Amino acid sequence: MSKIVILYHNNRCSKSRAALALLQVRGIKTQVVNYLDVAPTFEELQNIFTKLGTDSPRSMMRVKDSLYRELGLDNAELSDDDLLKAIAEHPTLLERPIAVIGDKAAVGRPLENIEALL
């Protein structure tokens, strides 16, 4: 049985394109989710966050993006749900690429994070 990787992808991002190329070169079945065209739901984002196994949704957010600061998301009092709702409303805040394989996920910065899942 071959694994299927779900790749949250932005074609305008060189890291995201590199992750997709890596999966294609390895012949790994990939379901590409162009998350800027079809934004992940709050529930999907909760699922990704759980699979990442990190302490905060900020690990899957573009914290250096100006929108992050404009929305006041650097406020330490915000809950995980507050942050995930912000990503659901503003998918540009989602870090890219993110690969999900089974019950694990990784942000592909650096690309070795995704390689470690394979």
Which is the catalytic residue, given 3, 13, 19, 47?
13
Residue type, 12: R
Whether the CA torsion 31, 37, 42, 43 is positive or negative: it is negative
Cα–Cα distance, 37 to 96 (Å, whole number):
14
Is residue 13 part of the annotated active site? The answer reads yes
Segments of the chain assigned E as strands: 4-9, 29-34, 98-101, 104-107
Alpha-helix runs per DSSP H in 26-79? 42-52, 66-70
Instruction: At 28, list the tokens.
Output: 């790994």
Positions marked catalytic: 13
